[in-house]
Amino acid sequence: MAKVSIYLNFQGNTEEAFTFYKKVFNTEFVGPIMYNKDIPAQDGMPAFSEEDSKKIMHVCLPILGGIQIMGTDMLESMGHQLIIGNNTTINLEPDTREETEHLFKALSEGATDIQPLQDMFWGDYWGCCLDRFGIRWMFNHHEDK
């Protein structure tokens, strides 16, 4: 079933923020917290510094009404800079690859900061764009195999 969640970017304090949100909403994380050190090595990908390897790659927490918030630490070493506008993303999880491609194509029209749809190591067909109105959209389609 398709889902929508909210993705939050932090500048190094994701774990602190999500530990706080966990207490506020009295819920448990969905799956384990993934750290950058948990990412499998990719061809051409430089190794993380010791500091960056301890930062969060992904965390997920249910809040209210079936909505989940997800988060990650932005990495200054990779040129990421947290500013209002790139700290919140609407994450769409369509039911089919075709629907994912349709939504991505439509929302990417006139968009900037586009990360094309591609199969990722965590198993999803993933992409991201900043639409022409300044809203950031992330697309994650997971096919059960």
Q: Considering the chain, what is the average pLDDT of its residues?
A: 89
Q: What is the pLDDT of residues 108-120, one digit of tens each?
A: 999 988 999 999 9
Work out the number of other CB atoms within 10 angstroms of the CB of residue 108.
21
Stated as kind and residue range, the H or E segment containing 142 is strand 136-142
CATH number of the domain bearing residue 112? 3.10.180.10
User: What is the end-to-end Cα distance of the chain in Å, rounded?
Assistant: 16
Q: Is the pTM of this model over 0.75?
A: no
CB 60 within 8 A of CB 105: no
Residue 62: domain span: 3-142
Q: What is the pLDDT of residues 59-108, one digit of tens each?
A: 999 998 899 999 999 888 777 777 766 788 899 999 999 999 999 999 89
Contact 130, 83 (CB under 8 A): no
Residue 19: pLDDT over 90: yes
Overall number of domains in the chain: 1
